[in-house]
Amino acid sequence: MTDFFSTSSLVQCAALALIIGLSFLFSQWLTQRVTHEQSVWLGEPVHEGLLFPFCALMLCFVLKVTFHLLHQPIDLILMALPLLVFSVSVRLIARVLLFVAPNSPLMRALEKVFFWSAGFVCVLWVTNFLPDFLNELESIHLSIGKSQMNLRALLEGLASMIFVLIFSLWLSAAIERQLIAPTVQDLSMRRVLSNLLRSALLVVGVLVTMSSLGVDLTALSVLGGALGVGLGFGLQKLAANYVSGFVILLERSIRIGDYVKVENFEGEITDIKTRFTLIRSFSGRESIVPNELLISQPIENYSLQDPQVMLSTFIALDFQSDEHMVKVVLLEAALSCERVLREPAPAVLLQSFEEGALKFKLNFWINDPESGQQNVLSEVNFAVLQAVRQAQLQIPMPQRQLFWAAGQEGELLSPKN
């Protein structure tokens, strides 16, 4: 306590308080003038961002060098450095995880693990037990296959791998939001570019970390060969779906938000994964359609360049009906529906001469198939039925005439006779 209240200690405390205050004021000033939404450096409040502890750490290093050149004691400054390093590391991990995955429980758990691990190392650093702790870790050797590795090297390698992976996620998320999102308007292309960028950065990060640990990367060629054999024999369908997913995203033949029909699936595409595609129908059901099916089967896409779709309905009327009057009645019935387009106009065709009836075909157009087709078809059918009844047009009923032969005494003969 005597040393703490000495003149040199008070000067160091005042200098540390000054640099912390300057860092806080600078961070607050910059936060008020720069948009800090989805930013790693800035946060609200100020201490939630990375800029405040980082500026304090840099000024503390400058303070250490200055006091050292002036031949002044720096014992309190040396104690403050690990605390600031701990603060910078914790805020960096927290902001990056919040930037990459704001609502991920796994990221929250990883943040807590790093907080307690870094806090433990910080306590060892401040209390000067860190060198002894590291020496004890070096004395513990582990056998991994034919190679020997001490526990310190293993833990340092794992820590560096976590840092590299988090940095890769941060870099990919930053590139996606700052470069890909403003320049690529297509949602599907943006998704595939983001996935490829994130996968490439993560693979490079893992390879770099494994190389720094002394792992022989040539052993991965054996794993790659085994994986290729497995894909060739046992995972053909799975591999086909993944390849089809990337083909769909790259070709953009179908996109998120398109209204499509493939086989028995009809609805809006809500998401395109690398293995399957989600199609949501108007009934609220979501169908998981394998991507291979979207590549190998014909698809009706109602959301391409021309959104106009022609629908048809049929009606059979009596032979005595006036065909010109029928045409006018059907056209008026179709145009009475709000979703039916005036241009191109509806058309009435005499489809065929059926048994006991004239079969008419009514064609009409809509430009919003994503709002449903069966509902507008039903609306037109109701309007047609009402118009036919008001015009007193006859809809023929099925009729059959039976003739029976009379016997000698006037009785009806059985079919056998």
pLDDT digits (tens, 9 = 90+) for 152-167: 888 887 887 777 777 7
Residue position matching structure tokens 């805020």: 91
- The mean pLDDT of 350-357, rounded to a whole number, is 84
**What pLDDT score does 30 carry?**
85
The answer to whether 87 and 46 are in contact (CB under 8 A) is no
Q: What whole-number distance in Å separates Cα of residue 105 and Cα of residue 198?
A: 20
Q: What is the mean pLDDT of residues 241-270?
A: 82
Task: Tell me the C-alpha distance between 318 and 395, whole Å.
Answer: 6
> What pLDDT score was predicted for residue 417?
44
Fold for the domain defined by 309-390: Alpha-Beta Plaits (3.30.70)
Residue 327 DSSP SS3: helix
Q: DSSP label at 147?
A: E
Which residue from 128, 65, 57, 64 is spatially nearest to 86, judged by alpha carbons? 57
Per-residue pLDDT, 237 = 77
| AA identity, residue 339 | R
Per DSSP, 178 falls in state: I
Rounded Cα–Cα distance for residues 20 and 52 (Å): 8
Q: What is the CATH number of domain 218-305?
A: 2.30.30.60
Beta strands in 249-383 (DSSP E): 259-262, 265-272, 276-280, 286-290, 300-301, 309-317, 347-354, 357-366
| Exposure of 405 in the CB half-sphere (CA atoms within 13 A) | 7
Looking at residue 22, its pLDDT comes to: 92
Sorted by sequence, the CB contacts under 8 Å of residue 238 that are 6+ apart come out as: 231, 275
The yes-or-no verdict on residue 383 having pLDDT over 60 is: yes
Cα–Cα dist 155/105, whole Å? 24
Give the range with max mean pLDDT: 91-100, 162-171, 285-294: 285-294
pLDDT of 382 > 90? The answer is yes
Q: Which two tokens stand for residue 57?
A: 């750490």
Q: Is the pLDDT of residue 393 over 70?
A: yes
How do strand 276-280 and strand 300-301 relate by DSSP bridges?
unpaired
**Residues making up the chain, counted from first to last:** 417
In the chain, what are the domain boundaries? 7-185, 218-305, 309-390
How does pLDDT run across 48-61, given as a tens digit for each residue? 778 888 899 999 99
Mean pLDDT over 323-349 rounds to 90
Residue-level pLDDT at 59: 92
pLDDT band at residue 259 using 50, 70 and 90 as cut-offs: confident
Question: Is it the case that residue 373 has pLDDT exceeding 90?
Answer: no
Phi and psi, residue 40, nearest 5°: -80, -35
309-390 and 218-305 share a CATH fold: no
pLDDT, residue 102, reads: 67
Mean residue pLDDT across the chain = 80
Cβ(188)–Cβ(256) under 8 Å? yes
Q: Are 306 and 320 in contact (CB under 8 A)?
A: no
Most trustworthy range by pLDDT among 100-104, 387-391, 395-399, 405-409: 387-391
Q: How far apart are CA 148 and CA 106, in angstroms?
A: 32
Is the distance from CB of 279 to CB of 260 less than 8 angstroms?
Answer: yes
